[in-house]
Amino acid sequence: MGRTKILIAGAGISGLAIAIMLERLPEDKKVDYLILERSVMMSAMGSAVSLHTAVIPLLKQLGVWPEIERISKPMSHFCIKRADGSELGTVDYAYGDSEYSYYGIVMARPQLHSILMGHVPSSKIILGKRIVATSQDDTGVSCHCADSTIYHADILIGADGAYSAVRQALYKDLWAHGNLPRQDISPIKLDQVVVVGITEPLSPTDYPMLKEDVCQFRIVLGGHDRPYTMWMVPLTNNRLGWSIGGRSNASDGSSFWSESQEEATDSYAYAHDSSRNADWSEAETESIDEICSQMRSKRNPFGFGTYGDLIDKTPRHMISKVMFEEKGFRTWYGGRTVLIGDACHKSVPFGGCGECNV
């Protein structure tokens, strides 16, 4: 019998992490695998991501911990303020050190992604392969790509994010056979729109938080009729990761970002259609400008000028806009297909916690 063949859909954090696990299998248990990634080029989008302390032993097992430790900062707590500067509370994150012997860590997502990429042979990642359909039977599983190519394997791992094409194909099949719970076909909740970025290197004299060896996540919960959140966190190389945004459909019916309403409704309606989504993007510069201009004059209650100062210190290509989805699916596998990461349990990555989904 030949080696087991595995296809991985998506070269995000989940897809790369599972590929590294397969790379680490002992010689007599090796499998053949390929990652099919829709992007033609992997770009450096995103802001800060935090990893829960419980993930660190896994990073050690994968052999990536020394590199990740170098690009990350340990995190002791979340400090939350109102827009007027009054304290709302703190969330202890230092318990990880006593419970697990590690602090939770925070780092720039583009750096984490490129470290993981470095541990997967480039011959195993095929770019420009957008999966549009999948099929499976007793003999194997097939992935059909937008460029009309077809890949066959024994097992398919859907690591293709919140709008997973693999999940949609699997669910269609399970639903047709009466094997899918109704809650798995309800739409993804999609009501948060944010702009995220990573600043250029800043002066620690102007931004003393950059000197923190064990850092804090600073969070602002602001606005009354138009609630918004802002967070900022120090990263290595004297940079700050930040996020500014809010609900796209506030409780009084007004949007945090007025022009986003149509888009939010649109994305919601198409939450199960892989051809339409609201992924991380730097392309919609007008939308980014609009959100930034609404927020730029607000004073930062943590004392570093206005949000505009933060935005102005961020190179344009390091700013992206995203609408956050939130949904946990009950069905994570079926036949020869299994889902991982955001494809099956997507939660709002508030505080850069998206990575903890992996």
Q: Which of 155, 215, 219, 358 binds ligand FAD (CB under 6 A)?
A: 358
Nearer to ligand FAD, 39 or 254 (CB): 39
Q: How far is the CB of 349 from ligand FAD (least distance, A)?
A: 3
Torsion region of 178: left, alpha or beta (phi above 0 gives left; psi -120 to 50 gives alpha): left
Binding footprint of ligand FAD, residue count (CB under 6 A): 36
The answer to the question of residue 229 lying near ligand FAD (CB under 6 A) is: no
Give residue for tokens 């080696």: 3
**Runs of H (alpha helix) within the chain:** 13-23, 56-62, 65-71, 95-100, 109-118, 165-176, 260-269, 285-295, 307-312
Site for ligand FAD in 130-149 (CB under 6 A): 130-131
Contacts 24+ apart (CB under 8 A), 271-277: 271/163, 271/187, 271/188, 271/190, 271/325, 272/163, 272/168, 272/185, 272/187, 272/188, 273/163, 273/168, 274/132, 274/163, 274/164, 274/165, 274/168, 277/162, 277/163
Applying CB under 6 A, the span of 77-85, 90-98, 283-291, 341-349 interacting with ligand FAD comes to 341-349
Q: How far is the CB of 157 from ligand FAD (least distance, A)?
A: 11
Site for ligand FAD in 3-62 (CB under 6 A): 9-15, 36-39, 45-47, 49
Nearer to ligand FAD, 263 or 342 (CB): 342
Site for ligand FAD in 234-293 (CB under 6 A): 274, 280
Burial of 99 (0-12, 13-18, 19+ CB in 10 A): exposed
Site for ligand FAD in 185-204 (CB under 6 A): 196
Applying CB under 6 A, the span of 61-69, 98-106, 123-131, 260-268 interacting with ligand FAD comes to 123-131
Name the site residues for ligand FAD (rule: CB under 6 A).
9-15, 36-39, 45-47, 49, 109, 129-131, 159-161, 165, 196, 274, 280, 341-343, 349, 352-355, 357-358
